[in-house]
Structure 1
Amino acid sequence: MRPILMKGHERPLTFLKYNRDGDLLFSCAKDHNPTVWFADNGERLGTYRGHNGAVWCCDVSRDSSLLITGSADQSAKLWSVQTGSPLFTFNFESPTRSVDFSVGDKLAVITTDPFMGSSSAIHVKRIAQDPNDQDAESVLVLKGPQGRINRAVWGPLNRTIISAGEDSVIRIWDSETGKLLKESEKEIGHKKAITSLAKSIDGSHFLTGSLDKSAKLWDTRTLTLLKTYATERPVNAVTMSPLLDHVVLGGGQDASSVTTTDHRAGKFEAKFYDKILQEEIGGVKGHFGPINALAFNPDGRSFASGGEDGYVRLHHMDADYFNIKL
């Protein structure tokens, strides 16, 4: 499996997202410029210029017409995917960490970091059909969790919002009333900050990765813990194959301790696990530095990883991969 190396960012990668058709890949990095690539050959299509800070997260609408990005410059922006022009900017009083379009793209959930005495918050914004009608008002603002919320995504039918972050608790909120419906239990939940959260293709379960060197699989409606995948390093990024029962974890030690260790000891590879048996089935090496972002193509035939080294690596699976027998 020969990866395609995509060099378009000057700084570490933070997030990767495929569009629904799987032909475009969007990458976010600390260099202010989200970039879009062709997902089959890694050709760079263009960049979205306008942010003045690290871009932490992005999401693309179902018809691939709108892109939303969240940045450390205290704003979230809506872009035209096709032209690259910014359509609207949501301004906040603290850095924006996570963005997610609802099913149907009529709403977006945006999380903001704790900053200058204000706590972290989850904002729900209405997304107008016509960008000229877009306003900045929040339909709902949720506050509560201590520390940063690293990811917030929509639950089934947009009825709930699932959030997770530095306090290592996963919470499910009612997206209309803002009421807290469920919290993960301390005994079975993560022990350290949750870095990443990925939903399954049908939305019935989701995967969380944490600095406690594990990833956990949860039922979306009941928040029942289904599986735990243990690894020997902090997990920065997680994703699931839409085709096979495979879970991919990426991570590595902190960037601060990278230079002091041999690169082979840092174990900067994407690890594949069997979703059901919880056993490791393989790994894909290549990054020089921790993996910060992972995404599986919706067709299940390729995946992308983004690292602290500023590279996006695009892996098209060999035929053998689809016949792995355990």
Structure 2
Amino acid sequence: MDKKKVAVPLVCHGHSRPVVDLFYSPTTPDGFFLISASKDSSPMLRNGETGDWIGTFEGHKGAVWSSCLDTNALRAASASADFTAKVWDALSGDELHSFEHKHIVRACAFSEDTHLLLTGGLEKILRIYDLNRPDAPPREVDKSPGSVRTLAWLHSDQTILGSCTDMGGVRLWDVRSGKIVQTLETKSSVTSAEVSQDGRYITTADGSTVKFWDANHFGLVKSYNMSCTVESASLEPKHGNKFIAGGEDMWVHVYDFHTGEEIACNKGHHGPVHCVRFSPGGESYASGSEDGTIRIWQTGPLTNDESDGGATAAATAANGTVAGKVKVSAAEEVSKKIEGFHISGDEGKAKEKDDAAGKE
């Protein structure tokens, strides 16, 4: 194999525990944004392009397993081991709603039209909250056969996709009937499920396999065996010609979508990679790890500028926390309207708020 150029990522510090979920917003008039979920109980919002820290959502009392942004990046949601799912104002950082559950909440997802929030977890119940009537009881659809691990909407909010922690397969619910209408069979439990930006493919990671499914006819399009157990995979959104995968070996691998051949292998994390996601334009991708860091990798070849001083300066700017003090750098220029975002005073201290159930 040809010797490949070493990529220098932007390294985003700030979390004091493992990063377990990443989510990019679509591109908005203010750019695009990245939200991260961590076992430290405090989701973080960043500029998706530079990695610059914008703010931290404070309020959960247990590990946060999932976080997401709505289509306009105006609201954030998070699912936690403290038995709640919360909705936040992404401009001010204020908590808007807290939805109580009877067990750990593992997954949450905004509908495409932004009016609904979907949640699921160890209760094995899928709930749909109407954000226009947050005090109304949620709608419940057919029970999940196992503990819910991942959730997503597809077909313009007509279908719900979900996977379980304790069994293989991805199930699809028809929102109108509330019934499971299809199951995509996998041997191992699906730890990552992503609907492609154009709505054509569902990308899943199960065990040491990455699979691509037709999102409309549900047939298996491609299946590739990886060299290790893979926890997360993401398809490049613009051209769909490559995908990334990360897992136990601590590396972020880039593969050719058509052949499955490895194109690049990015080393740098000091623990298993729990989540990988492409940015909405496909020019970069992010990885979150057991080591508590997020790394943002550029897709294209590096210029000399980027590979030495430029990358180092950018990587330093991307760090949300330096010696326990939170700093805001270029975030103010990204969007002036985020000035009111409040930050907890003991941001730098490691949080031991996870209840026993929150630790895995």
Alpha-carbon distance change, 320 to 311 in structure 1, aligned in 2, over 3 angstroms? closer
Consecutive unaligned residues in structure 1, runs of 5 or more: 115-119, 253-266, 322-326
The residue that corresponds to 1:237 in the other structure is 232
Of stretches 82-91 and 268-277 in structure 1, the one that deviates more from structure 2 is 268-277
Partners in 1 of 2:107 and 2:162 — Cα distance?
10
> In the TM superposition, what are the counterparts of 1:119-198 in structure 2 within 5 Å?
120-128=124-132, 133-146=133-146, 148-165=147-164, 166-184=166-184, 189-198=185-194
Distance 1:301 1:144 in 2: 36
What does residue 351 of structure 2 align with?
Answer: none
The SS at the match of 1:137 is: coil
CA contact (8 A) 2:119 2:126 kept: yes
User: What is the TM-score of this pair, normalised by structure 1?
Assistant: 0.86
Q: Do structure 1's residue 311 and structure 2's residue 293 form an aligned pair?
A: yes
Of 206, 212, 220, the match for 1:210: 206
SS of match in other structure, 1:190 = strand
Query: In structure 2, what is the Cα distance between the partners aligned to 1:163 and 1:106?
Result: 19
Q: Give the distance between the partners of 1:160 and 1:199, measured in 2 at CA.
A: 12
CA distance in 1, matches of 2:232, 2:86: 23
How far apart are the structure 1 equivalents of 2:279 and 2:151?
21
Which of 213, 216, 222 in structure 2 is aligned with 1:221?
216
- Aligned-pair CA distance for 1:221: 2.2
Which amino acid in the other structure matches residue 173 of structure 1?
Answer: W
| TM superposition shift of 1:319 | 3.7
RMSD (CA atoms): 1.6
Aligned residues of 1:291 and 1:305 also touching (Cα < 8 A): yes
1:18 matches 2:24: yes
Q: Distance in 2 between matches of 1:136 and 1:32?
A: 27
| 1:62 aligned residue (66, 71, 76) | 71
Q: Alignment partner of 1:32: what SS?
A: coil
| Alignment check: 8 A CA contact 2:190 2:205 kept | yes
| Matched AA of 1:197 | A
Contact residue 164 and residue 170 of structure 1 kept, 8 A = yes
- 1:302 is the counterpart of 2:284: yes
User: Aligned pair in 2 of structure 1 residues 38, 144: CA closer, same or farther (>3 Å)?
Assistant: closer
Q: 1:255 corresponds to which residue?
A: none
2:12 is aligned to: 6
Q: Distance in 1 between matches of 2:217 and 2:138?
A: 27
Letter in 1 for 2:210: A
Write the distance in 1 (CA, Å) between the matches of 2:55 and 2:32: 14
AA matched with 1:28: A
1:196 CA drift (Å) = 0.7
CA offsets 1:269-302 (integer angstroms, 9 cap, x no match) = 1111111222222211111111001111101101
Contact kept? 2:203, 2:213, Cα under 8 Å: yes
Counterparts of 1:17 and 1:243 in 2: how far apart (Å)?
17
Moved segments of 4+, more than 6 Å: none
Assess if the C-alpha contact under 8 Å between 2:142 and 2:180 holds in 1: no
Identity percentage of aligned residues: 29
How many residue pairs were aligned? 292
Report the 3-state secondary structure (helix = DSSP H, G, I; strand = E; otherwise coil) of the residue aligned with 2:169: coil
Q: CA deviation at 1:235?
A: 1.1
Which structure has the higher relative contact order (CA within 8 Å, separation 6+)? 2
> What pairs up with 1:11-90 in 2 under 5 angstroms?
11-21=17-27, 23-90=32-99
1:271 paired with 2:270, answer no
